[in-house]
Amino acid sequence: MQPTDTRDPDYYHRVVDCQWACPAHTNVPEYIRLIAQGKYTESYMLNRRSNVFPGILGRTCDRPCEPACRRGRVEEKPVAICRLKRVAADLKGEVDHLLPTAPAEKNGKRVALIGAGPASLTVANDLMPLGYQCTIFEALPKPGGLMRTNIPAFRLPAEVLDTEIDYILRMGVEVRYDHRVESMRALLEDGGFDAVFVGTGAPKGKELDLPGRREGAANIHIGIEWLEAVHFGHVERIGERVLVIGVGNTAMDCCRSSKRLGGKDVKVMARRTRPHFKASPWELEDAEEELVEILENHSPAEFLIEDGKLVGMRFELVEWYEDESGRQRSRTVGRKDIPCDDVILAIGQDNAFPWIERDIGIEFDEWGLMKVDKKTFMTTREGVFVGGDAAWGPENIIWAVEHGHQAAISIHRHCQGKPLTDRPPNALELTSSKMGLHEWSYASSYNPKPRVKMTHVDLAARLREFSLEVELGFDPDQTALEVRRCLNCDIQTEFTAKSCIECDACIDICPTSCLTMVENAEEPALRKRLTVPADNLTQPLYVSAPLPQTKRVMVKDEDVCVHCGLCAERCPTSAWDMAKMDLKIPHAK
């Protein structure tokens, strides 16, 4: 193998699994260290730089970082990254003076943002400080988009939402509430905007067209519409027996909301088996804790109607097998009728763009989505950008935020007449964390404590009061334990081959057997040759330049390195160093 180029910012970035997995590349280890030092405000601001809504995301994020967390490969469970984010938001001090501000003198460019969800808000957050005049068009009377209408208050209190949205709007963003954009053509021709950003989400719940759907309509609800109606107080009750169809995160919000609105016997009906559920494992657990029953292998067949009223649902019982091509297929093995008073459909969301004319240069694909450039987020019409769920269908908030950042870069370049594809690169800075002999500027020792469990409010209390937040958040003691579980993956093991005397000290001391000095070979052979064979192909190998004395190479399997710094402590020539990585991820500027 060729020596690894650690100057390529992507190499060390990949080592920080959480940051690499986060769509917005939040600097997780650094914000956890700041929390550990009690610097909640600084931690919050560092978070905000990349993910814009730490308080919101600290409660609702889909957490792509946690399954990626190295700790999950080293022991059982990943660091509670998401809940630590919430700690920073909960305990932060005054931040007003630290927030971005808009200059009094504008740059003369006007940007229209359609929909006041996380994508549009992020664009405004990035462009307002540069002197843009941003106008948000929002169909509803309040900002936030699906963050507000689809996430029940017991998971995300309104104050948190209001505060973090206000940090952006207070820069002087113009918001036109109750203003649904009905014609893109009109906006483009008469609006006088230099750029338009579409952040309208995927606001249309999927329909389930089965016999009885029309007759039972009064008691059959579309999940996201029903959640919105609950949010605005249009719906206050639901029947005692509720069936929720679908097993994504929206289904979890629907079933848990039902429990609070009079539902006693609430069942989530899934076609597939648990490993294939779309909902995050923790959301499933939270629902089950509230005594929601989740049934596998039930495929909806018919709404049962008596005297014009919904009385239940018929399901086909299925079992799954693998066909010759290895694909999962189902066969029907029986039928079952389950009585119910209400059905909520939570089987997915669609995009809807009836308001965008098809002859104005914005091309659509066969699924009714706009053709959007994956890098620049621009449509086929110059100056029209898309992000969030509106771009490629339903994702989650953190993706919308990252789309917003990227679109903001594009809009800024577009307004300056610069090419959009020529984007600012990531930059890498490495600083030794050596403070003295065997002293590091980070807590290097491995803490074997298991993941701290989130405390929830009492079941009876939460079902009594709809908007009572279920999760209490970590208290200072819990926080102190959890922060020490972070492995500091951003403190990189930096190797200088020409200093190595091949004494084996690093290899002998490494607690997780990551290091090997070995004759070089091609990657597959090299992976087999290591102290512990590097079977996890998703994790890269570091390969040094040939070593001075024997011309072997130093190979490090990045898979389970706990960044304890022992290799560097035991290295007599400082060929190993623990160097703190600062990845500079550019935003619009």
Instruction: Please report, as ranges, the residues that interact with other proteins according to CB under 8 A.
Output: 73-75, 437-439, 444-446, 448, 501-505, 507-509, 511-514, 532-533, 535, 549-550, 560, 562, 564-566, 569-573
Whose Cβ is closer to other proteins: residue 372's or residue 564's? Answer: 564
Whose Cβ is closer to other proteins: residue 407's or residue 571's? Answer: 571
Strand ranges (DSSP E) for 382-460? 384-386, 427-432, 434-436, 439-440
Minimum CB–partner distance for residue 114 and other proteins (Å): 49
Whose Cβ is closer to other proteins: residue 149's or residue 512's? Answer: 512
In terms of Cβ atoms closer than 10 Å to its own Cβ (0-12, 13-18, 19+), residue 481 is: middle
Instruction: For residue 307, give every residue at least 6 positions away whose Cβ sits within 8 Å of its Cβ, in sequence order, or none.
Output: none
Minimum CB–partner distance for residue 437 and other proteins (Å): 8
526 neighbors 518 (Cβ within 8 angstroms): yes
Minimum CB–partner distance for residue 3 and other proteins (Å): 21
Q: Distance (Å, rounded) from C-alpha 453 to C-alpha 18?
A: 20
The CA radius of gyration of the chain, in Å to the nearest whole number, is 26
Whose Cβ is closer to other proteins: residue 178's or residue 439's? Answer: 439
Q: 344: closest CA among 254, 439, 235, 407? A: 254
Instruction: For residue 218, give every residue at least 6 positions away whose Cβ sits within 8 Å of its Cβ, in sequence order, or none.
Output: 309, 310
Whose Cβ is closer to other proteins: residue 319's or residue 439's? Answer: 439
Minimum CB–partner distance for residue 481 and other proteins (Å): 16
Minimum CB–partner distance for residue 22 and other proteins (Å): 25
Place of tokens 């190499």: 11
Q: What is the DSSP letter of 1?
A: -
1 neighbors 523 (Cβ within 8 angstroms): yes
What would the two tokens of residue 131 be? 């002197």
Whose Cβ is closer to other proteins: residue 208's or residue 507's? Answer: 507
What would the two tokens of residue 302 be? 């018919």
Minimum CB–partner distance for residue 546 and other proteins (Å): 14
Whose Cβ is closer to other proteins: residue 235's or residue 503's? Answer: 503
DSSP-derived secondary structure for 103-121? -SS--S-EEEEES-SHHHH
Q: Distance (Å, rounded) from C-alpha 166 to C-alpha 126?
A: 14
Whose Cβ is closer to other proteins: residue 306's or residue 439's? Answer: 439
Minimum CB–partner distance for residue 72 and other proteins (Å): 11
Minimum CB–partner distance for residue 462 and other proteins (Å): 37
Whose Cβ is closer to other proteins: residue 20's or residue 576's? Answer: 576
Minimum CB–partner distance for residue 496 and other proteins (Å): 14
Q: Distance (Å, rounded) from C-alpha 251 to C-alpha 98?
A: 38
Q: Phi/psi at 322 (nearest 5 deg)?
A: -100, 130
Element (H, E) at 397: helix 397-415
- Reduce the DSSP state of residue 261 to 3 states and report it: coil
Minimum CB–partner distance for residue 452 and other proteins (Å): 18
Whose Cβ is closer to other proteins: residue 39's or residue 570's? Answer: 570
Strand partners, 302: 314
Whose Cβ is closer to other proteins: residue 386's or residue 578's? Answer: 578
Minimum CB–partner distance for residue 507 and other proteins (Å): 8
CA within 13 Å, CB half, 182: 2
Place of tokens 């807590």: 443
What would the two tokens of residue 265 be? 């016997």
